[in-house]
Amino acid sequence: MSTISRENKVFTVMVNFQCEPAEQAILVEALKISAPHFSNQKGFVSQNIHRSLDGTTVVSYLQWKSEKDHEACLSSPELMESGTDLIALMEKGKATMQVMPYEIVYTAEARGY
Amino acid sequence: MSTISRENKVFTVMVNFQCEPAEQAILVEALKISAPHFSNQKGFVSQNIHRSLDGTTVVSYLQWKSEKDHEACLSSPELMESGTDLIALMEKGKATMQVMPYEIVYTAEARGY
d(CA B22, CA B12): 29
- Measure the CA–CA gap between A105 and B76, rounded to whole angstroms: 24
Q: Which carries the bigger pLDDT value, residue B78 or residue B109? A: B109
Quote ipTM for the complex.
0.92
Q: CA A37 to CA A30: how far, in whole Å? A: 12
- Give A106→chain B minimum CA distance, Å: 5
pLDDT of residue B8: 79
3-state SS class at A8: coil
| pLDDT tier at B3, thresholds 50, 70, 90 | confident
B15-58 per-position pLDDT tens digit: 999 999 999 999 999 999 999 988 989 999 999 999 999 999 99
Nearest CA in chain B to A50: B104
Query: Does residue A28 contact residue A80 with C-beta atoms inside 8 Å?
Result: no
Q: Which residues pair with B60 in a beta bridge?
A: B15, B49
Across residues B82-109, what is the average pLDDT?
Answer: 93
Average pLDDT on B70-84 reads 88
Rounded to whole angstroms, what are the CA distances from B99 to A52, A84, B6, B71? 10, 31, 21, 11
What's the mean pLDDT in B88-96?
92
Nearest to B113 among A38, A45, A61 (CB): A45
Question: B50 and A110: CB-CB below 8 Å?
Answer: no
DSSP string, B31-94: HHHHHHHHHTSTTEEEEEEEEETTSSEEEEEEEES-HHHHHHHHT-HHHHHHTHHHHHHHHTTS
Of B4, B51, B53, the CB nearest to A48: B4
Contacts of A13 in chain B (CB under 8 A): none
Q: Residues A21-77: pLDDT tens digits? A: 999 999 999 999 999 988 999 999 999 999 999 999 999 999 999 999 999 998 888
For chain A, the distance separating the N- and C-terminal CA atoms, rounded to the nearest angstrom, is: 13
pLDDT of residue A1: 66
Would you say A48 and A2 are in contact if contact means Cβ atoms under 8 Å apart? yes
User: What's the 3-state SS for B9-46?
Assistant: CCEEEEEEEEECHHHHHHHHHHHHHHHHHHHCCCCEEE
- Kindly identify which residue of chain A lies nearest to residue B10, measuring between CA atoms: A113
Mean pLDDT of B58-86: 91
Mean pLDDT of B56-64: 97
pLDDT of residue A52: 98
For A48, the enclosing helix (H) or strand (E) is strand A44-52
Q: Do B42 and B72 touch, CB atoms closer than 8 A?
A: yes
Would the CB atoms of A3 and B7 count as touching at under 8 Å?
A: no
- Residue B13's pLDDT is 97
> How far B110 CA lies from chain A's nearest CA (Å)?
5
Q: Say if CB A8 and CB A63 are below 8 A apart.
A: yes
pLDDT-based confidence at A3, cuts 50/70/90?
confident
